[in-house]
Amino acid sequence: MKFVIFASVVAVALAAPQYGYNAPAPDPSTNYVAPSASTRDAVQVIEIVPILRDDRVHEEGRYSFDIETGNGIRASEAGSPDGPEGAVVAAGGYSYTAPDGSLIEIQYVADENGFQPQGAHLPVAPAFPHPIPQFVLDQIAKAAEEDALAAAESRNVEPSQLYQRPQ
């Protein structure tokens, strides 16, 4: 047992750093090991995109910014606490080039009605009222009939008294 304790103390002493607390730490660059060739092949080159313009203004709750990067991204926004209960109302826009090469431009307003973007590439819902397919109308009628039957069973009422299916 004494041997195990002695061996543990020796192992801890050998594992301790070989410099004192007042001595400077070793230079980390001397401990650097270059990556192997297989690791270097997997290195990804990252393009650094310069910031061409970055204008920001913050005054008494109001703000604005205009940003432009070297790869064609632009963004601008202005906002102020003019909404209900001092909520910030903002308006602005941004643009960038999509991977397919097309220019994407968005203009937006963000207020008590939420974020409201506008852009030529955004999908547009069909105008309402648009025709409702017959299978949808049939499904709505079936659901209403099932609801009426369930209600009748729970109240012991004759189903024909609750719901008449149109002919």
Query: In the structure, what pLDDT confidence band is assigned to residue 125 with cuts at 50, 70 and 90?
Result: confident
Residues whose CB falls within 8 Å of the CB of residue 87, separated by 6 or more in sequence, listed in order: 81, 111, 112
pLDDT of the residue at 160: 61
Determine what percent of the chain is predicted with pLDDT higher than 90: 39
pTM above 0.85, yes or no: no
Q: What is the pLDDT of residues 72-95, one digit of tens each?
A: 999 999 999 888 888 889 999 999
Quote the distance between the C-alpha of residue 138 and its chain's center. Answer: 39
Which residues, 6+ apart, have CB-to-CB distance to 65 below 8 Å?
54, 55, 56, 57, 75, 76, 77
Which of the four pLDDT bands, split at 50, 70 and 90, describes residue 145? very high
Please state the rounded mean pLDDT for residues 138-158: 85
